[in-house]
């Protein structure tokens, strides 16, 4: 794998207003360092412990993005430094992030994860649950968080029409919320969608952040100590 070439090729396809999160889960620190030297500063991880361990050993100007399902009891480890939590899938989690934000005296940026795929297993709010939460006023009471947009994962399929339809649904929800009356700490700026297999479609459908792992780093190393 030539990480530098992969990054450069990807960057050439990125339109203005769309950023690349390099998903480094299971990859060793050396691979991240290689991407860092090639200019990459935004990295995504899906496990709290692994993210913290990498934060501690790698350069401090890296922006760390939490992209995987997050248990409430792990929020405290990320709260001091995490740049953006993409995977907020319950109000309870949002409350815990707020509590830890208060403790660390920082406002923590979050995306609300929306379930757009056909698979049952993917986490996230339904469109209706999301609208209900946002209009309920419950988020406005949380002083140490800022919701900056939405995140979604399309179905794992070769059916490009279905993938596009799912991204379009998310985009339409995002656009409808953009013009809605929102709590003071909710702003629809970021739309996190697109992975190695489907990021070109996500970009066409308006993604502002693609989360790409294997197309940069190659296969994941699940057997490595983490």
Q: Which of 57, 30, 34, 32 is nearest to 44 (CA)?
A: 32
Name the residue nearer to ligand PLP (CB basis): 124 or 206: 124
Rule CB under 6 A: is residue 155 a binding residue for ligand PLP?
Answer: no
Q: Which of 1, 18, 38, 68 binds ligand PLP (CB under 6 A)?
A: 68
Stretch that binds ligand PLP, among 5-13, 52-60, 138-146, 211-219 (CB under 6 A): 211-219
Work out how close the CB of 103 gets to ligand PLP at its nearest, in angstroms, rounded to a whole number: 26
What single DSSP character describes residue 15? Answer: P
By beta carbon distance, the residue nearest ligand PLP is 213
Cα Rg of the chain, angstroms: 17
Work out how close the CB of 214 gets to ligand PLP at its nearest, in angstroms, rounded to a whole number: 4
Q: Which of 25, 54, 115, 171 binds ligand PLP (CB under 6 A)?
A: 25
26: left (phi over 0), alpha (psi -120 to 50) or beta: left
User: Are residues 3 and 38 in contact, defined by beta-carbon separation less than 8 angstroms?
Assistant: yes
Q: Which of 195, 201, 202, 203 binds ligand PLP (CB under 6 A)?
A: 195
In three-state secondary structure terms, 113 is: strand
Q: Which of 99, 214, 218, 221 binds ligand PLP (CB under 6 A)?
A: 214
Query: Using CB atoms within 10 A of its CB, is residue 27 exposed (0-12), middle (13-18) or buried (19+)?
Result: buried
Q: Which of 24, 27, 40, 46 binds ligand PLP (CB under 6 A)?
A: 46
Stretch that binds ligand PLP, among 6-14, 34-42, 93-101, 210-218 (CB under 6 A): 210-218
Q: H helices within the chain, ranges in order?
A: 3-13, 29-37, 48-57, 75-78, 91-104, 127-135, 160-178, 199-204, 214-217
In three-state secondary structure terms, 100 is: helix
Work out how close the CB of 183 gets to ligand PLP at its nearest, in angstroms, rounded to a whole number: 25
Which residues contribute to the site for ligand PLP (CB under 6 A)? Answer: 23, 25, 46, 67-68, 153, 195-197, 211-215
């Amino acid at each position: 794998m030539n990480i530098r070439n992969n990054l450069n090729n990807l960057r050439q396809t990125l339109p203005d207003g769309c950023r690349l999160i390099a998903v480094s889960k299971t990859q060793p620190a050396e691979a991240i360092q290689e991407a860092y030297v090639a200019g990459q500063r935004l990295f995504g991880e899906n496990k709290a412990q692994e993210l913290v361990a990498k934060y501690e050993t790698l350069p401090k100007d890296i922006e760390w993005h939490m992209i995987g399902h997050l248990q409430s009891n792990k929020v405290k480890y990320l709260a001091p430094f995490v740049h953006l939590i993409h995977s907020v899938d319950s109000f309870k989690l949002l409350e815990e992030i707020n509590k830890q934000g208060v403790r660390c005296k920082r406002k923590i940026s979050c995306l609300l994860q929306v379930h757009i795929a056909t698979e049952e297993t993917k986490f996230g709010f339904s469109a209706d649950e999301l609208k209900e939460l946002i209009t309920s006023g419950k988020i406005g009471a949380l002083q140490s968080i800022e919701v900056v947009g939405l995140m979604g994962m399309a179905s794992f399929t070769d059916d490009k029409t279905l993938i596009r339809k799912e991204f379009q649904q998310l985009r339409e929800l995002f656009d409808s919320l953009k013009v809605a009356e929102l709590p003071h700490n909710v702003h629809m700026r970021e739309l996190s969608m697109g992975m190695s297999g489907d990021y070109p479609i996500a970009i066409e459908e308006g993604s502002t952040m693609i989360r790409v792992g294997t197309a940069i780093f190659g296969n994941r190393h699940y057997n490595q100590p983490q």
